[in-house]
Amino acid sequence: MRPRVAAGRSWARACLVGLGVLVVLGALGTVLHPESPAGYEAGVPLVAVLLGVVASALVGPALGRAEWWWHVAVVAGIGGLLFVGIEVTRLAQAVEDSVVEDTAGAPAEAVVPDHRLDTPETIDGWSLDHSADAETQGAAESAQEGLGDLATVVTARYVGPDVPTVAVYGATFTDQEARGTAGFTTDTAQGLLDFLAGAGVTGAVPVDPGPLGGSLSCAGPGAEGVPQDVHVCGWYDRATFATVSVVGVEDVGEAGEAVRAIRAGMTR
């Protein structure tokens, strides 16, 4: 027997064994993955064989490979590549699905707010009123004691010759777990209603929150919990929340405009 033919037959036997292994793997797949259609598991090796036969019939003669072992090798080779490719794809999809499921069920405690509140000296036409520091500092300390490590409290009063007086009592959540621990919902509209209700204010109407998003509402004089000549507003987003008293405006529209400007200036 010619060495070339003998070597070819050895390769053919090896490929036949490999093809048999593929068929066994297909059967095992049916047992190990009962949720998958049995036809799919059993059909992978059969499709591989058919593709290999077609490929060997087309490529073999063109290369001058008429020996039978050449055709078997092509069949087994294409079958193996197809089977391995499909199984690797399925495994990758299973891993991805597992990661998505784990992420969806994971708590949001690692999500740190991407902005915070600060008290700059000036905001547009407003200036920070340091004469009110004692009053606002006392309110801040009281609120901070109540919130503990869940949020960082900021209070300030801004005044100006041609702008309404604005007093802000706000805070920045430490992280998203802290928001849940503090009892605040991730629904900004409902969270704002709860927050204002906790401050004794009801009857606030939604106004445009501006580019910072979240929710912003204002209540005018006469609403429950609102003194005369004062508008009380509140905002609530994924990182910050605040109540704002506005003096010197005519309606909730003007109050909302003032709060949007102050909020933008205090956000870092």
pLDDT in tens, 98-122: 544 433 443 434 455 578 999 999 9
- The model's pLDDT over 37-79, given as tens digits with 9 standing for 90+, comes to 444 555 555 555 555 555 555 555 555 555 655 666 666 666 6
pLDDT at position 102: 39
Strand partners, 247: 165
Q: Which residue did the predictor score with more confidence, 2 or 234? A: 234
pLDDT at 174 over 60: yes
Residue 199's pLDDT is 87
Query: Strands of 215-219's sheet, edge to edge?
Result: 122-123, 126-128, 151-159, 165-173, 240-247, 231-236, 215-219, 205-207
Which residue, among 123, 189, 186, 195, has the nearest Cα to 160 in the 3D structure? 123
Using DSSP's 3-state secondary structure scheme, residue 20 falls into: helix
Mean predicted lDDT score pLDDT of the chain: 75
pLDDT above 60: residue 12:
no
pTM: 0.57
Tell me which DSSP letter residue 234 carries.
Answer: E
Query: From the CB of residue 259, how many other CB atoms can be counted at a distance below 10 Å?
Result: 31
**H/E element, 256:** helix 252-266
The token pair that represents 97 in the structure block: 């699905």
Rounded to the nearest angstrom, the gap between the alpha carbon of residue 2 and the centroid of all alpha carbons in its chain is 66
